[in-house]
Amino acid sequence: MAKSTAVRFESGLTVRVQLFVVVIVVLLIAVALALIFLPPSSVHDAQRIRSGTTKSIPKSEVQSSASKGSSSSDRYIRLPSSNFPTLYTLKLQLFLPYREVFDFGIRNYTTEGDLRIDFKCIESNDRIVLNAKHINIDASSILIVNDVNRSISFAAINTYRYEPDDIYAIEFRLDSFLIAGNSYSVYLKYHGRIGDVWAGGLYKADYDIDGETRTLAATQLQPTDASRVLPCFDEPEMKANFLITIIHPAGTTAISNSPARRIRNISRQWSETEFEKTPKMSTYLLAIAVSDFVFRFRLCKNIEVIRNLL
Residue 74's CATH number? 2.60.40.1730
The answer to whether residue 21 sits within a structural domain is no
State mean pLDDT over 185-192. Answer: 98
The answer to whether residue 141 sits within a structural domain is yes
Q: What confidence tens digit (pLDDT) does each residue in 108-130 have? A: 999 999 999 999 999 999 999 99
What does the alpha-carbon distance between residue 64 and residue 217 come to, in Å, rounded to a whole number? 24
pTM: predicted TM-score of the whole model, two decimal places: 0.76
Identify which of 130, 139, 159 has the alpha carbon closest to the alpha carbon of residue 71. Answer: 159
Tell me which of 157 and 92 has the higher pLDDT: 92
Contact predicate 193/230, CB 8 Å: no
The answer to whether residue 39 sits within a structural domain is no
Average pLDDT across the chain, whole number: 79
pLDDT at 44: 32
pLDDT at 235: 96
Q: How many domains does the chain have?
A: 1
The answer to whether residue 206 sits within a structural domain is yes
Element (H, E) at 33: helix 15-37
The answer to whether residue 282 sits within a structural domain is yes
User: Strand runs (DSSP E) across the chain, as ranges?
Assistant: 55-57, 83-95, 110-121, 127-130, 136-146, 154-162, 167-174, 183-193, 201-209, 212-220, 241-249, 253-256, 260-265, 270-275, 288-291, 295-300, 303-309
Contact predicate 87/177, CB 8 Å: no
State mean pLDDT over 280-306. Answer: 78
Q: What confidence tens digit (pLDDT) does each residue in 67-93 have? A: 444 544 433 478 999 999 999 999 999
Domain that holds residue 228: 50-309
